[in-house]
């Protein structure tokens, strides 16, 4: 019975749970997102800086790729992780624009932070953002340029130049910007090696060889992989073939494979000898079956032992065991045939072929190269450079460029980069915002202003006067010059970026703006954060044995009378 009419205390959440709610929590989430944008902002544009990030093991990575930086930072703030997710989604979907999407999302939150403090409902802000986002997407579809490679009046040479410009623009803010023409041609050639319907970028292999300069990098129109672990006899094998037959296996060609797969009990030494002879007979039967196929190159996902290696060497056959699954898949794509799980019944249609097979020295490594393949739908980029961190950053830069070129091949729609598209969208959305009454006018105008963060940050990173350049851009766009953007090299600071061939696939902008808007709306919709306590918190005092606490409580309950 309760005395004095007091209400009983209801414990809803576990003890130690931390909950924060209301407007202060929303503002705290916005501040966390702005902190992330502040870290990334200096990496944007052709004059962006790099970040050197050292992990707990002491490994250092140098990069200016937004998604990579956020992944390496290991951000734990729950609201800020939303920006990490959109950067990763942008990287997976389009491959480029990862920094831009985070900056736009954070700037959207910054522009409306004052309205949140004044008590404007997040639902009104969200509604305005979604309307402005739809206006932006419609505007991009309206102004984008389309190059159709199927048009008979559009030669493939012109379409290739479009792809080269998109790749070059993607690399302009990367570490390899000094070698843009060289790598742009390499990336476009790599994408055009693929099946133009599927465009599976995983079929572009990337191999890194330390040493040499960037110009020593090469594109292999086929497959190249590092020489695998070899046994005695491998050096006696031929290292060059013309038009060889290739067999790909998922079979272990080692003596120990037979005795490890069974348990046998024997009573006499002669019986044991018969088992040993049978094991040798089994492996020789496999080797002879492979030789009968006429294959001159034998590749296997599993080990090929010293007996098989020497046996193949005596018969002028090259073999490589422990070939990685991605490399074997690319060999099958390029040379044809299929991976066999048995050595019996290998038919001619199961074999592949290539024009030239050779083992070549690249830097300090030996590489096996398959070139001039009849149905090559794959290729390999062999990257060179002085330091491992440098080569890894080159790989990330080329991945972005490959994804951009892939999107351009699939769609063919491009817009001008360098902040030109953002300025055009800003002018278009602001014009609409001023034509409507009420709070929505303020929200949509704030959205338009937030888009200016891209050209503003490009100017800031290049050491230019962003206020002066943005005023020039606003004047140009007000007079109908839709493709004017930032020029980090010229004296005036602005130029027509469409004429200057600073092009990007329109999908980059569509994805960035829609993802940034969704992230901002998601953060605005959160008004409470509940942190559950850790499941294993350190307890003070001596530990009690399991079940002791429950027994103590039960004993205490029996011995103490209850007060009424």
Give the residue numbers marked as catalytic.
65, 98-99, 400
Report the alpha-carbon distance of residue 367 to residue 387 in Å, rounded: 20
Q: What phi, psi does 274 have (nearest 5°)? A: -65, -35
Interior/surface letters 392-421, b for 16+ CB within 10 angstroms, e for the rest = bbbebbbbbbbbbbbbbbeebbbbbbbbbb
Contact 102, 83 (CB under 8 A): yes
Alpha-carbon dihedral 539, 542, 548, 551, rounded to 10 degrees: -90
Report the alpha-carbon distance of residue 405 to residue 168 in Å, rounded: 10
Report the alpha-carbon distance of residue 319 to residue 234 in Å, rounded: 8
Question: 389: buried, middle or exposed (CB in 10 Å: 19+, 13-18, 0-12)?
Answer: middle
Any idea which residue has 């888009």 for tokens?
451
Report the alpha-carbon distance of residue 110 to residue 453 in Å, rounded: 11
Number of helices and strands in the chain (H, E): 18, 21
Report the alpha-carbon distance of residue 104 to residue 124 in Å, rounded: 19
CA-nearest of 455, 441, 515, 508 to 133 is 515
HSE-up of residue 399 (Cα within 13 Å, Cβ side): 20
Stretch (H or E) spanning 455: helix 453-461
Q: At what angle do helices 23-40 and 506-524 cross, to 10 degrees?
A: 150
């Amino acid at each position: 019975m309760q005395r004095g009419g007091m209400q009983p205390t209801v414990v809803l959440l576990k003890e130690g749970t931390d909950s924060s709610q209301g407007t202060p929590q929303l503002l705290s989430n916005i501040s966390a997102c702005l902190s992330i944008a502040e870290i990334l902002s200096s990496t944007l544009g052709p004059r962006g800086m790099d970040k050197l990030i050292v992990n707990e093991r002491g490994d250092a990575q140098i990069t200016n790729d937004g998604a990579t930086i956020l992944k390496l930072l290991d951000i734990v703030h729950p609201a800020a992780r939303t920006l990490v997710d959109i950067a990763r989604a942008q990287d997976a979907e389009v491959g480029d624009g990862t920094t831009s999407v985070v900056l736009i999302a954070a700037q959207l939150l910054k522009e409306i932070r004052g309205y949140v403090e004044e008590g404007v409902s997040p639902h009104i802000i969200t509604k305005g953002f979604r309307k402005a986002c739809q206006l932006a997407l419609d505007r991009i579809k309206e102004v984008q340029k389309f190059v159709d490679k199927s048009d008979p009046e559009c030669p493939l040479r012109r379409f290739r130049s479009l792809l080269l410009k998109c790749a070059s623009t993607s690399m302009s803010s990367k570490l390899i910007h000094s070698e843009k023409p060289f790598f742009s041609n390499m990336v476009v050639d790599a994408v055009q090696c693929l099946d133009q319907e599927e465009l599976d970028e995983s079929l572009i292999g990337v191999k890194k060889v330390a040493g040499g300069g960037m110009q020593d990098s090469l594109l292999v129109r086929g497959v190249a992989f590092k020489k695998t672990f070899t046994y005695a006899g491998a050096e006696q094998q031929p290292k060059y073939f013309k038009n060889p037959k290739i067999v790909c296996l998922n079979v272990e060609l080692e003596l120990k494979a037979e005795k490890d797969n069974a348990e046998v009990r024997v009573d006499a030494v002669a019986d044991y000898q018969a088992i040993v002879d049978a094991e040798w007979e089994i492996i020789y039967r496999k080797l002879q079956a492979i030789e009968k196929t006429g294959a001159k190159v034998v590749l296997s996902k599993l080990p090929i032992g010293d007996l098989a290696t020497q046996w193949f060497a005596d018969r002028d056959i090259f073999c490589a065991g422990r070939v990685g699954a991605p490399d074997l898949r690319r060999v099958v794509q390029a040379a044809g045939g299929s991976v066999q799980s048995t050595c019996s019944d290998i038919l001619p249609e199961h074999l592949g072929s290539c024009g030239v097979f050779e083992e070549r020295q690249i830097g300090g490594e030996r590489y096996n190269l398959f070139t001039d393949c009849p149905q090559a739908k794959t290729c390999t980029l062999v990257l060179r450079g002085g330091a491992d961190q440098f080569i890894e950053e080159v790989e990330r830069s080329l991945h972005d460029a490959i994804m951009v070129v892939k999107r351009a091949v699939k769609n063919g729609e491009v817009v001008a980069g360098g902040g030109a598209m953002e300025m055009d969208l800003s002018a278009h959305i602001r014009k609409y915002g001023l034509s409507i009454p009420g709070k929505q006018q303020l929200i949509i105008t704030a959205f338009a202003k937030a888009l200016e963060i891209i050209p503003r940050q490009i100017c800031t990173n290049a050491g230019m006067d962003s206020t002066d350049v943005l005023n020039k851009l606003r004047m140009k766009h007000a007079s109908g010059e839709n493709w004017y953007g930032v020029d980090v090299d010229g004296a005036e600071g602005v130029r027509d970026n469409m004429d200057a061939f600073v092009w990007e696939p329109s999908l980059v902008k569509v994805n960035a703006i829609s993802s940034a808007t969704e992230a901002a709306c998601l953060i605005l919709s959160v008004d409470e954060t509940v942190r559950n306590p850790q499941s294993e918190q350190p307890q003070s005092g001596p530990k009690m044995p399991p079940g002791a606490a429950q027994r103590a409580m039960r004993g205490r309950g029996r011995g103490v009378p209850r007060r009424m």
